[in-house]
Amino acid sequence: TPVAELIRIAHANGIPVLVDAAQSVPHMKVNVQELDADFVAFSGHKMLGPTGIGILYGKESLLNTMDPFIGGGSMIRVVELHESSWAGLPEKFEGGTPNIAGAIGLGAAVDYINQIGISNITAHEMSLTDYALQQLQDLDSVRIFGPPDTANRGGVISFAVGEIHPHDIGTLLDTDGVAVRAGHHCAQPLMRKLGVPATVRASFYLYNTTDEIDQLVASISRAKDFFDGA
């Protein structure tokens, strides 16, 4: 996705931009200042961290103009009977007891990723994705959505198997110990554009192997045979 170009066009028309980077920050280098994004958000659990915590980057000039959206301790400066003033950044957005354990866990995950090296993670994912694309393209009735190679895609492959509903494919793969996601992936308009009820999504990360991709492909073949009555 040409994110930088989309941001430039939006800014030229006076539109602020929030980038959902949950599927990119854990997998590749992202420079928010080069993107010139107004806000960038991503989750902790998609980068080896705990659930229930994430990160919001925002331009200081915009964050300063925003009112708090959660009330609680530590987010105020002075409270009077008829008015209050808020604490500075980032405290005014952190009302109440923070998710201390989550923050520690996310920090440890970031340290671990930095220790491995994001470039190494990207290279490993692209190698796996390239291998998976080759294997899936050899399967009859498998329709792969998106670019046919790794030049313009991340470590995610969405696909469909003939007329078999993706939920059924996902269920049978689960019985083989293969974890995929089946559904509309928070993108129902795209599903309608593609003319499908949903897709199956296989995602790769630093801990996956080619052996697991072989298991994925074998499980898809078994699922197809099952529904075809073989």
Rounded CA-CA distance 179/200 in Å is 10
Token pair listed for 37: 């994004």
Coil vs helix vs strand at 207: coil
Q: Quick check: is 186 catalytic?
A: yes
Beta-carbon contacts of residue 32 (< 8 Å; ≥ 6 apart): 40, 57
Rounded CA-CA distance 5/10 in Å is 9
Could you tell me the CA-to-CA distances from 122 to 29, 41, 56, 89, 133 in Å, in that order? Answer: 9, 20, 23, 33, 16
Contact 50, 102 (CB under 8 A): yes
Q: Which of 78, 81, 186, 230 is catalytic?
A: 186
Catalytic positions: 186
